[in-house]
Structure 1
Amino acid sequence: MFETTGTIIGTVATPPARRVLATGEEVVSFRVASTARRRTDLGEWIDAGTLFVTVSCWRRLVHGVDASLRRGDPVIAHGQWRAVEYRAKDGTDCRGLELRAYAVGPDLSRCSAVLTRHSGSGSGPASLMRNTCTGSSAEERARVGEHQGDATAVPRASSDRAETQPAETQPVEA
């Protein structure tokens, strides 16, 4: 079977929502707003239309996205495009576009990230990589791995360019 894959670059528009399905499987979904920009003849940038896409994250991606992303964060998501049909609250049948993500991360052209690598089996909360985008809503949650008891502080930037300091890391097994 052929899969249509692609990448969306934008801003997290809704808080990531984590839920457990009847099968016991977990999923985290959020909306991404991707606004096209173009340059005028005068050299000024103006916003064009905005595309809103639902991104769904499954399996190992659930823990990392849930611990890392917040509304307003610059994000890049790559995965499989799917057409979805649903019934709106007013009862009308709707169609939409969803990205079933294989990978999600911060857009480092618009923020900086500090990663904490954990050794282990490579799945579950113990293997999370936490990012915090300076100047974004995630900056308010300035504790790395806060759900794992790691209290390493993320440095605040004094300018547009973040000065990063290495966090304490454990060696990663190859």
Structure 2
Amino acid sequence: MYEANTAVIGRVVTHPVRRVLQNGEQLLSFRLASTARRYDQGAGDWVDGGTLYLTVSCWRRGIIDGVEASLQRGDPIIAYGQLRSNEYTTRDGAERTDLEMRALALGPDLGRCTAPVVRKTFGRPDRTDPVERPSVDADTAGEPATTHS
């Protein structure tokens, strides 16, 4: 079966929870809400449309560790991964469908927040190149960028 990758922009609505499965594999999951918004000319304001809720599942160790260290409930994020629908029956006998994204990449939505970047070294101490960032101070315009550690 072909599974298309897609991006969803939204907000983390539950605390990310890490679980260890019976086979020893680790899983981290949380719920994500994405609300459509549009500008209403008549009202002169933005109005909310429908909200899409989905479960984001993280299976890769790098993503699990990164989410655990970086994201929490309420954070605006961009999630990218494979969407699947899971059908199940509740204890009451009701049929339900849950939308799940198996995350390939996650990160903060920098249009709605700021976030420091801490690069992982992946066990190779020789790969800790400092990040060069231009100075934002007007008095130092035109000078070489400073290195932040």
TM-score interval w.r.t. the shorter chain?
Answer: 0.7 to 0.9
Which aligned segments of 4 or more residues in structure 1 are displaced greater than 4 angstroms? Answer: none
Q: Report what 1:26 is aligned to.
A: 26
TM-score (norm 1): 0.66
Unaligned runs of 5+ residues in structure 2 are 125-146
1:53 corresponding residue in structure 2: 54
Question: Cα–Cα, structure 1 residues 120 and 81, in superposed 2: closer, same or farther, change >3 Å?
Answer: closer
Give the TM-score taking structure 2 as reference length. 0.77
Tell me how far apart the structure 1 counterparts of residues 51 and 10 of structure 2 sit (CA, whole Å): 10
Seq. identity, %: 52
Q: Which runs of 5+ in 1 are unaligned?
A: 123-165, 169-174
Q: Using a 3 Å threshold, how does the CA distance of structure 1 residues 118 and 101 change in structure 2: closer, same or farther?
A: closer
Structure of higher CA gyration radius: 2
The one-letter code sitting in structure 2 at the alignment partner of 1:67 is A
Query: 8 Å contact 1:53–1:98 — kept in the other structure?
Result: yes
Q: CA deviation at 1:25?
A: 0.6
Alpha-carbon distance between aligned partners in 2 of 1:167 and 1:33, rounded to the nearest angstrom: 34
Aligned-partner residue type, residue 72 of structure 2: R
Q: Which residue of 2 aligns with 1:106?
A: 108
Aligned-pair CA distance for 1:22:
0.9
Counterpart amino acid of residue 53 in structure 2: F
Residue 45 (structure 2) aligns with: 44
1:1-174 pair list within 5 angstroms: 1-42=1-42, 43-59=44-60, 60-88=62-90, 90-121=92-123, 167-168=148-149
Separation of aligned partners in 2, 1:90 and 1:16 = 27
Deviations 1:29-50 (A, max 9, x none): 1111111111112331111111
- When residues 92 and 37 of structure 1 are mapped into structure 2, their CA distance, relative to the original with a 3 A threshold, is same
Larger displacement relative to structure 2 (85-94 or 6-15): 85-94
- Between the two proteins, the alignment pairs up a number of residues equal to 126
Q: Partner letter of residue 56 of structure 1?
A: S
Task: Name 2:134's counterpart in structure 1.
Answer: none
Secondary structure, aligned partner of 2:65: helix
The offset of 1:90, in angstroms, is: 3.7
Partner SS, residue 11 of structure 1:
strand
**RMSD, aligned CA:** 2.0
Q: Name the CA distance, whole Å, in 2 between partners of 1:86 and 1:24.
A: 24
C-alpha separation in 2, matches of 1:38 and 1:67: 33
Q: Deviations over 1:50-73 (max 9, x none)?
A: 111111011121111111110000
Kept after mapping to 2: 8 A contact 1:79/1:100: yes
Q: Distance in 2 between matches of 1:86 and 1:21?
A: 20
